[in-house]
Each structure stands twice: as structure tokens, then as C-alpha cells.
Amino acid sequence: MLQDTTTPHTVRRLLVAAGASLAALGSFAAAPAATAAATATAASAGPATGLAGLAGPSSLLPPTLQGGERGRGDHHLTVTVRGAGRGADGTFRVDCHPASGDHPDVAGACRALDRNTRWGQDAFAPVAEGTVCTMQYGGSATARVTGTWAGRPVDATFDRSNGCEIDRWNRLVPLLPDLSK
């Protein structure tokens, strides 16, 4: 049986090396092999803790998640909510980094999105097929989120038909309305 001898120093060195490769190419998307190796090495160092948990410089993050100037098109979403009641229904625009739009809580929506953005994971992913969920009904509210987040296209639907879907919805509150009140 092999023992993992990866040290934090080794992880940092690999991440810095991957960052240098990315900088040389001038594009995050152009170096998927270096990025995959850095991501796998970082993942083996411990549990995922989101973007803040990555060791190394911010240059290893996709350009859309780094600090500084960000393209408006990289963080633009349209949220359409139906059946939520209490004035929560409608179609709202959310732009993040910087926060703007006509959503009732743009800053809160952007914080929820940032909080749920993890390296290598889709913040809008559906509940995995075969997941055992509680038989709980959260109402007839539905939502559709379209646009671009972190430079990737988004087209996700949400409902509250069981415990897993309710949890998925609640993770994105206040991007989606808080219906637990």
C-alpha cells in the first residue's frame, strides 16, 4: 500500500510551478493539464475548503475568480422565480464583481454564489442521480438561472420537490428567495 508523502511545501511548489506555466501561456483555459495536476495535488493535501483553501498565489485561480479587473460577462446571471409568492416572483438580473443588477439583494446573491463556488465543482449542479432524499415537499416554487458564472455557461432549474432539492435551493439563498420563513 502506498503512503501519501505529499507535504504542504511540495503542494505549494507544484502550484507555483503550475501558475508559472499558466502565466507563460497567458490563459487559464490553455493549460488544462497543468491545472488538473495542481488541482489534484491540492485536493490530496486535504479536504476542499473552497477557493480560499488553495495554497499558492491567486494567479492559479481562473481569471474570472481572481481579484482585480473582471469581465462583466463572466459573472452575469438572470434568475426567473415562479410560484414563490410574497412578491418574490419575477425575473432579476445579477452581475457580480462588482455587484449590480435589479435583484432585490444583489450583494447577498453575489455572496451566496461566491460561497458556493468551489474549485472543480459546478455551483449549479443538479442533485446527483440515485441520491436518497427525504420525502419532504417545500412548495411549488421553481426557479431558472441562466447566464455565465466564473466564465462558464449556466442553465439550471430549481424546485423544492424533496429534501435534496430544498437543500440545493437553500444553498443559493438569497440568489433564490428564502422560502423557509
Q: What is the pLDDT of residues 35-53, one digit of tens each?
A: 344 434 333 333 333 333 3
DSSP per-residue letters across 122-174: -TTPPPPTT---------S-EEEEEEEETTEEEEEEEE-SSHHHHHHHHHTTT
Q: What is the pLDDT of residues 52-109, one digit of tens each?
A: 333 333 333 344 444 434 444 589 999 999 999 988 999 999 999 999 999 999 999 9
Rounded Cα distance, 165 and 176, in Å: 13
pTM over 0.85: no
Phi, psi at 118, each rounded to 5°? -125, 145
Q: Following CA atoms 111, 114, 125, 33 in sequence, which dihedral angle do they give, to the nearest 10 degrees?
A: 170
